[in-house]
Structure 1
């Protein structure tokens, strides 16, 4: 991975996220997004309303693509991605991005602002804007890439699964490099939808706390550049990935964590590693009673006591289809900067949690990190990253 970036409520770019993690400064705030009162906390990225897309992309202007643009323009990522397109050729760079809602917020707005004759106003008439592929289409246009392009929409595992798909494309010769990542923005459909499932907490989320009572929804954009044989000096590496689909329930994990275990086992096998080799785990840790109980039991069972594990959703909120990439970047921060972020807002850990759970930030130098992402319908993914210089 020769470049990576993340933008969320915790800040724009890697340095801002790292600073928030180190200072234990959450980006969550009381809901000020929905037009109808909903008592909850959210992770909102400021300034998107005042930042329309550049003129050349006006037909795809929406909150989701504005956030994508904000993410692309952090940490020099856009310049590095454009250089990759130039280096390999437009047809040899894949675009694989995850999102759970794409630009559905723009569709909501389009229906709210219908013209007198009942049709969409001109700003909402590009049909691509209202499809799940709005994000990928936008990023393709920005980069001028013409290689394989795919939208991954597997709920909260979306932008973790993109790494697996990109690795396959590169390994099988369909591409020499891939821009991966994910973007999801706040919208009424998501906020009220999760609230209808009784999964939204009226307080800031408390991952793995015994008194946890739901998620805080956030928005984020993150990207990474994967290159064939990318042993660039200091570049982190994708060592392994695992995927599974337990299909146990539409919105609840398998009670014994069958899918989570399979995804983790697959990632370890592909990386040629044992559980004891993992120094840090960024947990999915949504702060819902069911998810955290299952994940806590799986980690306590599979990993040795010295492995450190935490959820970073107390900083960003649950960014849905962007959660995988944001938390992958959190893993890279731990690897590159030598510290373990604790679990914000957890004061009394669930008894199911093992000694692996880190509550406070810790100085450490992990060589290998694992990120787990679990989505609705039992769509699970696990990613393993290593520090630059590993074989």
Structure 2
């Protein structure tokens, strides 16, 4: 069964919405800035969505993560699309699948800095629905009025790629008639200093797949897409989800499998489900974090599975690695090439890693694509590959 992408929208440091993101990609304008996160003096670059600071009226739902979700949901036509589907099918027949790796831990961090004299939470921070791994989906159900099945996926950096696969299965089995999928993650001290403890942060703007890359930059983002069965949709975006692959090799808590075992499985599964050969894929948005190990292993695997003419790029140098929101952010960038006919380059790439042989360039390419892929590989070997195709 083909799944139609009815609508999609993204919000990150590279652009408040899809329209501004397209402009940033076209002009090669990165949203990364020197680390200015309050309470942190780490020498690195981050992708901050400054407009989130203006969202402070969420009451009992207040957290930076929920604020970014609310901000992103107001962009484009996502809110109107979801409201229309609720009106058509009923709120109980619309599903909700969100991905987040940190949920609202930013709010929990703040709560512990403002304990009362007895060491207890103060009234404003007694928020059981916020200090909760499922907080994002709870908040989005509240915000949208969706009463259908709701799920939060937390598989690290593949979280909001896997939402597409779950949403597709719900539609294929008839559990719902439409699904809002999304992902949101925000910067906080736990995230930034946690990655620093793994010695992964770069003091420079990241350079995915470059010979001289020296680490990653972190960012925050929100993204949403609306899925529906092809037989019941007018398909406003002209894009289908035609294949997905998921795997969990569980090789190591933070290091990818040295031979890319799980990543290979996710890519080959997506191709098989879509009934496509590797040579038919026009563009792959790589996970490409700019770490030494991740880029090398993914790059070598791409060379083994795909022709060297398959155009690839990593787009993390625009907004940073947005963790649990990276999957949907990069899925949207990949699928949007089917509408813009522009394959984004790999920003900051100067000298390709000498151990790799890929069709990857810093410059954009104008091309009418038919089939595109995106990879999202998370800690613990949680991998997901999505394949999108132009509607026939």
- Give the TM-score category using the shorter length: over 0.9
- 1:283 Cα deviation after fit: 0.3
- 1:234 Cα deviation after fit: 4.4
- Aligned residues of 2:349 and 2:361 also touching (Cα < 8 A): no
- 1:97 Cα deviation after fit: 0.4
- Aligned residues of 2:101 and 2:155 also touching (Cα < 8 A): yes
CA distance in 2, matches of 1:86, 1:121: 40
Where do 5+ consecutive residues of structure 1 fail to align? none
Question: Does residue 81 of structure 2 align to residue 77 of structure 1?
Answer: no
Task: Give the secondary structure class of the aligned counterpart of 1:221.
Answer: strand
- 1:116 Cα deviation after fit: 2.8
CA distance in 2, matches of 1:233, 1:144: 22
CA distance in 2, matches of 1:233, 1:225: 10
- Aligned residues of 2:287 and 2:374 also touching (Cα < 8 A): yes
Task: Give the secondary structure class of the aligned counterpart of 1:251.
Answer: coil
- 1:118 Cα deviation after fit: 2.2
CA distance in 2, matches of 1:264, 1:16: 30
Question: Does residue 288 of structure 2 align to residue 301 of structure 1?
Answer: no
CA distance in 1, matches of 2:216, 2:92: 40
**1:363-382 matches, cutoff 5 A:** 363-382=366-385
**1:141-220 matches, cutoff 5 A:** 141-220=142-221
CA distance in 1, matches of 2:123, 2:203: 38
CA distance in 1, matches of 2:70, 2:208: 30
CA distance in 2, matches of 1:36, 1:207: 24
1:315 maps to: 318
- 1:365 Cα deviation after fit: 1.2
1:333 maps to: 336
2:9 maps to: 5
Match of 2:348 among 339, 345, 357: 345
Moved more, 116-125 or 307-316: 116-125
CA distance in 2, matches of 1:36, 1:357: 34
Task: Give the secondary structure class of the aligned counterpart of 1:295.
Answer: helix
1:15 maps to: 19
Match of 1:268 among 266, 271, 289: 271
- Aligned residues of 1:238 and 1:383 also touching (Cα < 8 A): yes
CA distance in 2, matches of 1:3, 1:123: 36
Task: Give the secondary structure class of the aligned counterpart of 1:84.
Answer: helix
| RMSD over aligned Cα atoms | 1.1
**Structure 2 length normalisation: TM-score?**
0.97
CA distance in 2, matches of 1:267, 1:338: 22
- Aligned residues of 2:7 and 2:236 also touching (Cα < 8 A): no
- Aligned residues of 1:207 and 1:292 also touching (Cα < 8 A): yes
2:288 maps to: 285
- Aligned residues of 1:208 and 1:285 also touching (Cα < 8 A): yes
Where do 5+ consecutive residues of structure 2 fail to align? none
1:42 maps to: 46
Task: Give the secondary structure class of the aligned counterpart of 1:95.
Answer: strand
- 1:233 Cα deviation after fit: 4.9
- Aligned residues of 1:11 and 1:17 also touching (Cα < 8 A): yes
Question: Does residue 235 of structure 2 align to residue 239 of structure 1?
Answer: no
- 1:87 Cα deviation after fit: 1.1
CA distance in 1, matches of 2:25, 2:273: 30
- 1:228 Cα deviation after fit: 1.7
**Structure 1 length normalisation: TM-score?**
0.97
1:251 maps to: 254
Task: Give the secondary structure class of the aligned counterpart of 2:359.
Answer: coil
**1:46-61 matches, cutoff 5 A:** 46-53=50-57, 57-61=58-62
Question: Does residue 31 of structure 2 align to residue 30 of structure 1?
Answer: no
Residues 289-348 of structure 1 deviation map (CA, whole Å, 9 limit, x = unaligned): 010000000111111122110000000100000000000110122111011111111111
The alignment of Structure 1 onto Structure 2 pairs a total of residues equal to 386
CA distance in 2, matches of 1:171, 1:149: 16
CA distance in 2, matches of 1:23, 1:341: 10
CA distance in 2, matches of 1:78, 1:380: 29
Task: Give the secondary structure class of the aligned counterpart of 1:128.
Answer: coil
Moved more, 3-12 or 359-368: 359-368
Task: Give the secondary structure class of the aligned counterpart of 1:365.
Answer: coil
In the TM superposition, structure 1's runs of 4+ consecutive aligned residues that sit over 4 Å from their partners are none
2:138 maps to: 137
CA distance in 1, matches of 2:92, 2:355: 49
